[in-house]
């Protein structure tokens, strides 16, 4: 019974994971939100050897592909580190979420805000 408890504890420690949020950035969220779009990119890193961060370059193209005829606004980005297997292996994951507004909707919002700022 004691041996099983020790083996369970050791395996729990060995296969335990941890997630930490490194940074969050956000642009202004529009009053009239369009369709929500999300893009994600990640990379597995072993023993801390990370030679490039090129995997994040695909995020902006993926967002543009999801909103081809509009304007992307209200972007929230998250940079996460997910640790696996005694912290020898981890994954860096970047997620970007925003709102796709059609150009007509964006122009209407801009006109509405400029009309509110003027006095008769």
How do residues 64-91 score in pLDDT, each as one tens digit?
999 998 889 889 888 888 887 766 888 8
Domain annotation covers residue 2:
no
Sheet with strand 89-102: strands edge to edge: 18-26, 70-84, 89-102, 35-46
Domain annotation covers residue 14:
yes
Domain annotation covers residue 79:
yes
Determine whether 83 is exposed, middle or buried from the number of CB atoms within 10 Å of its CB (0-12, 13-18, 19+): middle
The answer to whether 120 and 43 are in contact (CB under 8 A) is no
- Regarding pTM above 0.85, the answer is no
> CA-based angle 55:16:82, to the nearest 5?
20
What's the confidence (pLDDT) of residue 107? Answer: 58
Q: How far apart are CA 99 and CA 92, in angstroms?
A: 24
Reported confidence tier of residue 99, pLDDT bands at 50, 70, 90: very high
Q: How far apart are CA 22 and CA 56, in angstroms?
A: 15
What's the confidence (pLDDT) of residue 111? Answer: 60
Domain annotation covers residue 119:
no
Domain annotation covers residue 5:
no
The answer to whether 106 and 71 are in contact (CB under 8 A) is yes
**Tokens in use for 47?**
């023993």
Domain annotation covers residue 20:
yes
In total, how many domains does the chain have? 1
Q: How far apart are CA 106 and CA 71, in angstroms?
A: 7
Domain annotation covers residue 1:
no
Bridge partner list, 44: 91
Domain annotation covers residue 102:
yes
Reported confidence tier of residue 120, pLDDT bands at 50, 70, 90: very low
Domain extent, residue 73, equals: 10-114
Is 105's pLDDT higher than 60?
A: no
């Amino acid at each position: 019974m004691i041996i099983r408890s020790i083996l369970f504890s050791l395996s729990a420690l060995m296969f335990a994971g941890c997630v930490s949020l490194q940074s969050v950035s956000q642009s202004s969220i529009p009053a009239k939100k369009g369709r929500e779009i999300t893009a994600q990119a990640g990379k597995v890193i072993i023993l801390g050897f990370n030679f490039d961060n090129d995997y994040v370059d695909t995020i902006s193209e993926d967002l543009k592909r999801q909103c081809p005829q509009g304007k992307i606004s209200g972007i929230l980005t998250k940079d996460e580190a997910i640790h696996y297997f005694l912290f020898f292996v981890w994954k860096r994951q970047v997620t970007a979420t925003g709102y796709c507004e059609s150009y007509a909707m964006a122009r209407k919002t801009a006109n509405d805000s400029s009309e509110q700022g003027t006095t008769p």
